[in-house]
A and B are shown apart, each in its own frame.
Chain A
Amino acid sequence: MTKFIDLHLCVPFKDVEQQRKLIFNASELGYSLVGIPLPPNVSSDVVENLHKLCNEAGLNFVTRIDLAPRTPRELLEDLRRLRRKFEIVSVLCGSKPVARQAAKDRRVDLLSFSATKPRYRFFDRAEAELASKSLASFEIDLAPFLSLESFSRTRLITSLRKELNIARSFQVPIVISSGATKEFLLRKPHDYAALMFLFDLDSPLALNALSKAPLAIVNRNRQKLSSEFVAPGLRVVRMVKDDP
């Protein structure tokens, strides 16, 4: 059975009831793993509580950080400080230099762009070429698409169609996430795949962007963060004690 993954479930930290609703709703809709964005200085208690809640709902949970640096230098500092604390690192690219730096840095997992400001979408051919040589994937949040109306939505559809076409031609992995803050903005994986028809992405590719592509990122990062990891392609299989 296919494992569906939502790497961007925006759970509110203050509203416990809403937190519970959103996590259980994700489980009911057929997701088996969710990524929840956390603040950089999150306490271990909060992470522990989320782990418990997700276990109760039958979900696997990954920690995620959304970085929104203003300069490439700030991005590098954030990555140095936070990369090993979170399983998924996403960068909201607010400027072209930041987008370029994020695309070529192997510590960045997801590249995301503003849904409401078309001028701040920097996913062009140059960006895709850089991303294809590193490990970054192109992330699409569908909650903004659902909440936008009329002309803004039309513009977003145009941008996403163009960007997805570029991503496919440069073989940049595509990841579809909900970005949902409320349960009414969360949809079943097959409904999201159906929505991708608007962006000329066919159903098998869309389902791949909801399952295999995010799962590959999670597995890769979990491996890297485990104590057995030494370097890419090299890990500790077993420790041998020296004979006295």
Chain B
Amino acid sequence: MIRQLRPRYLAIQISSDASFEEEDVKEVVWDAVLQLFGEYGASKTGLFLIDYDKKKKQVVFRCSHNALSIVHASIASITKIRSKPAAFHVSKISGTLKALGKKRAA
């Protein structure tokens, strides 16, 4: 049976001098998607924050396979979180969390 939603997991490294709460990270990514692709585009992404490590500044998002380009472009366009300079670097992309973990460990 073909799955309706094929997920993609994105491991992201946040580069910034400041530290941020999970809500801030979630908000800034949603804002970037909304700004670039609008509500219609954002509705297709199925974006969900899976994990956030505040110390390491690493975050894992899940999105729909079809909307990977939208989410990746939006994440790359982020330059600030709460008006503090920050850059989001997508370090790994995978189809399952297990494979993402392996790729990150490698």
Could you mark each residue 68-86 of chain B with 1 if its beta carbon is under 8 Å from any beta carbon of chain A, else 0?
A: 0110110111010000011
The answer on a CB contact under 8 Å between B90 and A146 is no
Could you mark each residue 180-212 of chain A with 1 if its beta carbon is under 8 Å from any beta carbon of chain B, else 0?
A: 001111111011101101100000000000000
Q: A183-B15, A197-B69 are in contact. Are A191 and B86 (CB under 8 A)?
A: no
Q: A197-B69, A197-B73, A198-B73 are in contact. Are A191 and B89 (CB under 8 A)?
A: yes
The residues of A that contact B36 with a CB separation of less than 8 Å are 198
The answer on a CB contact under 8 Å between B79 and A191 is no
Complex Cα spacing A186 to B77, Å: 11
The answer on a CB contact under 8 Å between B73 and A188 is no
A44 to chain B: closest CB distance in Å?
Answer: 34
Q: Among residues 3 to 53 in chain B, which have CB atoms less than 8 Å away from a CB atom of chain A?
A: 15-16, 36
B17 to chain A: closest CB distance in Å?
Answer: 10
A147 interfacial by beta-carbon distance below 8 Å: yes
Of chain A, the residue at the smallest CB distance from B79 is A146
The answer on a CB contact under 8 Å between A197 and B72 is yes
State how many residues of chain A have any CB contact under 8 Å with chain B: 18
Q: A146-B77, A195-B77 are in contact. Are A184 and B69 (CB under 8 A)?
A: no
The answer on a CB contact under 8 Å between B73 and A194 is yes
Complex Cα spacing A172 to B87, Å: 31
State how many residues of chain B have any CB contact under 8 Å with chain A: 16
A29 interfacial by beta-carbon distance below 8 Å: yes
Complex Cα spacing A190 to B77, Å: 13
The residues of B that contact A188 with a CB separation of less than 8 Å are 89-90
Q: Count chain B CB atoms within 10 A of each CB in A182, A186, A191 and give the residue with the most.
A: A191
B3 to chain A: closest CB distance in Å?
Answer: 24
The residues of B that contact A29 with a CB separation of less than 8 Å are 89
Complex Cα spacing A195 to B79, Å: 13
The 9 closest A-B pairs by CB, nearest first: A194-B72, A191-B76, A184-B85, A197-B69, A184-B87, A197-B73, A194-B73, A195-B76, A146-B79
Could you list which residues of chain B lie within 8 angstroms of chain A, going by C-beta atoms?
Answer: 15-16, 36, 69-70, 72-73, 75-77, 79, 85-87, 89-90
| Known A187-B89, A194-B69, A195-B73; further 5 A-B contacts with Cβ < 8 A | A146-B79, A183-B87, A191-B89, A195-B76, A198-B73
